[in-house]
Amino acid sequence: MTDNQQIYRCHTHDYREPCIYLLTVTVEGRRPVLGHLAGDMYTAHIELTPLGEDVRHELYALCDRYPQLRLPQYQIMPDHVHVILQVTERLPKPLGNLFSSWKIACGHAYGRIMAGASAYQPNKADTTSPASGASLGEEALAPRYRRLFSEGYNDSILTGREQLQHMIAYVRDNPRRLLIKRAYTSYFTIHRNIDIAGYRFDAIGNLALFQRPLMAVHCRRSWTEDEQQAFAAQCMKASEDGAVLIGAFISKAEQDIAHTANEHHHPLIHLVENGFPELYKPVGQAFYACAEGRLLLLAPWKYHAGRKAISREQCNALNTMAESIAQPKGRAT
């Protein structure tokens, strides 16, 4: 879809009205041409290339042109940009049109740099790599990359009072998350179509968790509150003794068990309804649990865009899979 087609992506929302948005746009081909990662776990940040500086300049210029816009937070990453925009008064145009104009302005800056770099002829002594983000190099000049940003963008609409602070923290923490992902590459690699207990899964996380005893977490609907509490205590005891809890964690009681296990830094294997797109990484606490080797996500079905409610049949299927895998013979092959 074009940007103009995406301005009404949420059909019940008016993108001219005051609201707060998290917008994300990726560089065409995910080339790291906007900057490169620097620092350590405590000082991780992105050092911008000249192109990255132009992208930042155009972002402030957009807010100067439209005084109805505020910029609570943004983060320019090597191959994508996160922007939190607050619309304080009704806009003359939908936000998608304004964001599209920013992308076009950034594209013009990219064109100017490409034109200036067209005479660049690397020699054997030149060790500058496009992957470092320090130079556009030959890769950026390839004919297939005629624009800076990919078509379209992703948006998230603020719906709760605390969501803004979560948005800001997520955007601000992106460089450190990138550093962690690079440090623990194996835990963030998507494994496709692996055989586990006769089922086929896509997986991301620590596959070595299968080498430990497993305990399936499935709270029956017919259980009383006392029975659920007794089962939760049984799960925590097994987890403390070294077992890995495995389940879909769908019901409130199951989610509470997973939350408690995570609070104690105990490992989990989580079966999920939606699969993993390319370049997927877990979010929130799951990201750090994955980096620490405490989490494995399993998806038996392919990725789908958009939200949809999980069906009862899918819930039953996921619980059955978890119980099958938890048997001693149910291991990855």
pLDDT in tens, 263-290: 999 999 999 999 999 889 898 899 999 9
Structure tokens at 137: 């190099």
Find the range with the poorest average confidence among 81-95, 105-119, 125-139, 211-225.
125-139
Instruction: Compute the distance between CA of residue 31 and CA of residue 8 in angstroms, rounded to an integer.
Output: 28
**CATH label, 185-326, candidates 3.40.50.720, 3.50.50.60, 3.40.50.12170, 3.40.50.450:** 3.40.50.450
Q: If you average pLDDT over residues 189-202, what whole number do you get?
A: 95
What is the predicted pLDDT for the residue at 117? 67
Q: Is pLDDT above 50 for 139? A: no
Instruction: Compute the distance between CA of residue 236 and CA of residue 243 in angstroms, rounded to an integer.
Output: 9
Could you tell me how far CA 89 lies from the centroid of its own chain? 30
- Give how far Cα 280 sits from Cα of 147, 252, 268, 283, 316, Å: 23, 26, 19, 9, 26
What is the predicted pLDDT for the residue at 331? 54
The contacts of residue 141 (CB under 8 Å, 6+ apart) are 114, 117, 118, 120
For residue 259, give the H/E element and its range: helix 252-263
Tens digits of residue pLDDT in 60-88: 999 999 999 999 999 999 999 999 999 99
Q: If you average pLDDT over residues 19-46, what whole number do you get?
A: 95
Instruction: Compute the distance between CA of residue 333 and CA of residue 328 in angstroms, rounded to an integer.
Output: 13
Phi first, then psi, for residue 179 (nearest 5°) are -60, -45
Q: Is CATH 3.30.70.1290 the right assignment for the domain spanning 4-182?
A: yes
Q: CB 143: neighbour CB atoms within 10 A?
A: 5
% of residues, the chain, pLDDT over 70: 87
What is the predicted pLDDT for the residue at 99? 95
Residue spans of the domains in the chain: they are 4-182, 185-326
Nearest to 41 by CA among 291, 323, 321, 327: 291
pTM over 0.85? The answer is no
Tens digits of residue pLDDT in 293-321: 999 999 999 998 877 889 999 999 999 99
Instruction: Compute the distance between CA of residue 172 and CA of residue 175 in angstroms, rounded to an integer.
Output: 8
Structure tokens at 165: 């602070």
Instruction: Compute the distance between CA of residue 15 and CA of residue 152 in angstroms, rounded to an integer.
Output: 15
3-state secondary structure at position 15: coil
